[in-house]
Chains A and B, each alone.
Chain A
Amino acid sequence: MSNQRVSRRQFLNYTLTGVGGFMAAGMLMPMVRFAIDPVLTAEAGGDYISTGTSIDELSDVPTRVDFSYEQKDAWYTSEVTQTAWVYLDENQEVVALNPTCKHLGCTVNWEGRESDPNRFFCPCHNGLYEKSGKNVPGTPPTAPLDMFETRVSDDGILQLGQVVPNTIA
């Protein structure tokens, strides 16, 4: 048995401090969490999405790379699949083009028409783009294809970010 005697008064003091402490913490923690929340989410803005495609699989010929992410529309969450045309340029840099036609938003295909090799073709109104995404004059599109920001993860997997205006065409 312990020889330190705990008086009734001491016991009640300890108990009340303990319980009171928990209650105070329960109130303060959410407040603190809300207060520092903007700091914690700041990173999410520049999200990159992993495509599951290794850069070893890429070549100088544009290949279709599909990637998906979750999108929320009001309370309806859906998985959205996006496509990019990805190839390596002369300096072995990754180029990822957004396949959305700058005319009215159809999906363009690499060498989609036999008579136009080495070009992107839009089947809706016969729009054409060079490999760099540059629109061919005389066809409906008025701007080059947009690009994705690209990044390669440590294990060599291609990651795609935001859609940005074309910088190489």
Chain B
Amino acid sequence: MIWNTKDITLFFQEQKYIDTAVVPLLPVSFGDQAKQEADQAEFIPLVTALLEKQFKGRMMLLPPFTYFSNESTDLKLQRMKQWSETLKEKGFEHVFLITSDPFWREVEKEISADLIWLPSIPMEHMDGKYKQKIIEDQVSQLLKIVVGKWQTN
């Protein structure tokens, strides 16, 4: 399911089947990192869109969690914890955070959600077919991780 009018209606009808939330984490800044962060903003949504396509009936893909990368660590963490806790309260048993920002790897243990870190691949000079192939490869790895998590409980 995607966060849109059509799917949200279906979500409320079939809520008992949807136990997984997916949140892309995207940093924004206008410094040295701007280009890499823009790359991530291109790459991560492609990955999460394909993931959602595969597992549409069991996961809700939320709008990205965005932040300025120079926000303080505490503030970012606090907001992130609030997101993951709220989602758990709302009945999402599994919460997957998908990002390419290395910041989250350092604080992974403090968040009560499954963080999946992917190395960002610059899509700038890739043609369509090749881009699609790369995304499919990445997502096939992700599918295994998600199914693995579903099977553990």
Task: Tell yes or no: B10 within 8 A of A by CB.
Answer: yes
How many Å from the CB of A77 to the closest CB on chain B?
Answer: 13
B10 touches A104 (CB 8 A): yes
Complex Cα–Cα for A81 and B50 (A): 10
A161 within 8 A of B: no
Q: Is the CB of A81 within 8 A of B132?
A: yes
B56 lies within 8 A of A105 (CB): yes
Give the residues in chain B near A79, CB-CB below 8 Å.
Answer: 128
- B57 and A106 contacting across the interface, CB-CB below 8 Å: yes
A104-B56 CB under 8 A given contacts A79-B128, A81-B132, A125-B17 = yes
Q: Is the CB of A125 within 8 A of B58?
A: yes
Is there an interface contact between A107 and B54, defined as CB atoms closer than 8 Å?
Answer: yes
User: Are B57's CB and A125's CB within 8 A?
Assistant: yes
B93 interface residue per 8 A CB criterion: no
Contacting pair A123 B17 (CB below 8 A): no
Q: Measured between C-beta atoms, what is the minimum distance from B109 to chain A in Å? A: 28
In the complex, A123 Cα to B54 Cα: how many Å? 9
B14 and A104 within 8 A (CB): yes
0/1 interface trace, chain A 93-105, chain B, CB 8 Å (1 if under): 0000000010111
- Interface pair B55/A124, CB less than 8 Å apart: yes
Contact between A106 and B56, CB atoms less than 8 A apart: yes
Does B75 count as interface, using CB distance less than 8 angstroms? no
Answer yes or no: B147 CB below 8 A from chain A CBs. Answer: yes
Bound-state Cα–Cα, A73 to B53, Å = 17
Q: Is the pair A104, B58 in contact by a Cβ cutoff of 8 Å?
A: yes
Q: Which of chain A's residues have a CB closer than 8 A to the CB of B56?
A: 104-107, 124
Complex: A123 Cα to B57 Cα, angstroms: 10
In the complex, chain B residues whose CB is within 8 Å of the CB of A124? 17, 55-58
Q: Is the CB of B53 within 8 A of A123?
A: no
Contact yes or no, A104 B128, CB < 8 A: no
Inter-chain CA distance A140–B14, complex, in Å, is 12
| Binary CB contact string for chain B from 5 to 17 against chain A (1 if under 8 A, 0 otherwise) | 0000010001001
With both beta carbons as reference points, the residue of chain A lying nearest to B13 in the complex is identified as A104
Closest to A140 in B: B17
Measured CB to CB, the residues of A under 8 A from B are: 79, 81, 101, 103-107, 122-125, 140
Task: Give 30 pairs: A residue, B residue, CB < 8 Å, sorted on A.
Answer: A81-B132, A101-B57, A103-B57, A104-B10, A104-B17, A104-B18, A104-B56, A104-B58, A105-B56, A105-B57, A106-B55, A106-B56, A106-B57, A106-B58, A107-B53, A107-B54, A107-B55, A107-B56, A122-B57, A123-B54, A123-B55, A123-B143, A123-B147, A123-B150, A124-B17, A124-B55, A124-B56, A124-B57, A124-B58, A125-B17
Residues of B near any A CB (own CB < 8 A): 10, 14, 17-18, 53-58, 128, 132, 143, 147, 150
